[in-house]
Amino acid sequence: MTEALTNVAKHAGATSARVEVAASDGRLTVRVLDDGAGGADPEGGGLSGMRDRVAAVDGELRVASAPGGGTLVEARVPL
């Protein structure tokens, strides 16, 4: 998820970002949220690479990034 924070710093134009970590139902969830420009391409090189790495440990990556609405990157992996 450090790559998600790097994306915030390089591309989002955000004024703030936060990281949330929680464990529940045998899964670890890590979220990176920002208040930047949004419009991140979930199939772009960085995010698709992150998706591949999360999938390698039987996890899932979700990206929500409406233009003008900030970005959420959420990884869920088994504990």
Domain with 18 in it: what CATH number?
3.30.565.10
Phi, psi of 35 (to 5 degrees): -110, 30
User: pLDDT tens, 20-74?
Assistant: 999 999 999 999 999 999 998 888 888 899 999 999 999 999 999 999 999 999 9
Angle subtended at Cα 17 by Cα 11 and Cα 23, rounded to the nearest 5 degrees? 120
User: pLDDT tens, 13-23?
Assistant: 999 999 999 99
Half-sphere exposure of 73 (CA within 13 A, CB side): 28
What is the pTM assigned to this prediction?
Answer: 0.90
- Residue 24's domain comprises 2-78
> How many structural domains does the chain have?
1
